[in-house]
Amino acid sequence: MSKVIAMGCDHGGPEFKNELKAYLEGLGNTVIDCGIQPGEAVDYPEKAFEVASKVVSGEAELGILVCGTGIGMSMAANKVKGIRAAACSEVYSAKLTRIHNNANILCLGARVIGIETAKLMVEEFVNAEFEGGRHQRRVDLITKIEQENSL
Ligand code: RB5
C-alpha cells in the first residue's frame, strides 16, 4: 500500500537517505524530502523536529530519519508529542515496531547499517500495520506518560 513518508537526515547520511527515498518511491510511495543534500550540514535535532512535525500534523503518515547512528535523531524526535520514533538496525525490529509499538518514525544509522539492509527495513516498516488489540493498551500507556509526566 502506498504511503506518504517524510524523510530527513543530517550530514551523516544524505546519500543514504536519497537512496532510500528512490527505493520507496519505486515501490509507489510519496516522499516529502526535508533534506539535507550531499555537501550540506545540519544539526540533527532540527531535521528530527521538521520531520516529526509533518508526521504529527498528518501531512505525512510516517517518517524516516537518518543520521550517523540513528540515535540522536530518535532522541530528538521522541521529544515531540505524538511521536514514537524507533532507532533500529535490523529488519525484524523495523517491522515489529510498527506492528506492536505503532512507531511512526524509523531512525537509521547510515554509519551502522548497510544500504541493502536499510532498504528492506524501510520497506517492512512502511508496509506493516499496527496490530492494535493488547498493543493499543500499551501504546496508550506511553501516551499517558507523555501527557501526565512533564516536569
Ligand atoms: C554527526 O556527526 C553525528 O553525530 C550524527 O549524525 C548522529 O550520529 C547522532 O546521533
Mean pLDDT across 124-138: 98
Residue 24: its pLDDT value, please?
Answer: 98
What does pTM read for this prediction? 0.97
Residue 119: its pLDDT value, please?
Answer: 98
Residue 151: its pLDDT value, please?
Answer: 66
Catalytic residue, from 34, 67, 88, 107: name it.
67
Task: Please provide the average confidence, as pLDDT, over all residues in the chain.
Answer: 97
Mean pLDDT across 75-98: 98
Residue range 4-148, CATH number: 3.40.1400.10
CA distances in angstroms from 52 to 2, 85, 113, 133, 150, listed in the order given: 20, 9, 22, 25, 19
Phi-psi region of 146 (alpha: psi -120 to 50; beta: other; left: phi over 0): alpha
The CA distance from 70 to 128, in Å, is 20
CA angle 95, 35, 58 (to 5 degrees): 55
Return the ligand 1 atom nearest residue 109 CA: 8
Mean pLDDT across 16-30: 98
Q: How far does residue 68's CA lie from ligand 1's centre (Å)?
A: 4
Residue 118: its pLDDT value, please?
Answer: 99
Domain residue spans of the chain: 4-148
Ligand 1 atom 9 nearest Cα: 72
